[in-house]
Amino acid sequence: MTTLLNQVKSHATRHYAEDAWDIIVECYTDNELAALIGRASTLEGALRKCRAVIAPIAEQRAWRRAEAQMGESGYGSASNAQEWWG
């Protein structure tokens, strides 16, 4: 299990800035990460369990980035609220 745990931590570190892997790096202790991956016997299985946890966070971040970009371009600004909501 220690080898698999280290492989997951290495993957998370390499992909820190992608798809919320930073959550695994910054927020999970070794014991918590071991509990998360449970009885996974392969790296892909362990990563699949991690992705199930971080996917909603990554989706929310993407949504917020898109929302912020809309605001910067004027589509989401308060001045256009009347135009959007009529």
**How does pLDDT run across 34-63, given as a tens digit for each residue?**
999 999 999 999 999 999 999 999 999 999
Q: What integer best gives the mean pLDDT of the chain?
A: 88
Residue 68 — very low, low, confident or very high, per pLDDT cuts 50/70/90? Answer: confident
The Cβ of residue 54 has, within 10 Å, a number of other Cβ atoms equal to 19
Q: Are 56 and 23 in contact (CB under 8 A)?
A: no
pTM here is 0.77
Q: DSSP 3-state assignment of 72?
A: helix
Q: What distance in Å separates the CA atoms of residue 82 and residue 43, rounded to the nearest whole number?
A: 51
Residue 16: name the closest of 65, 49, 58 by CA. Answer: 58
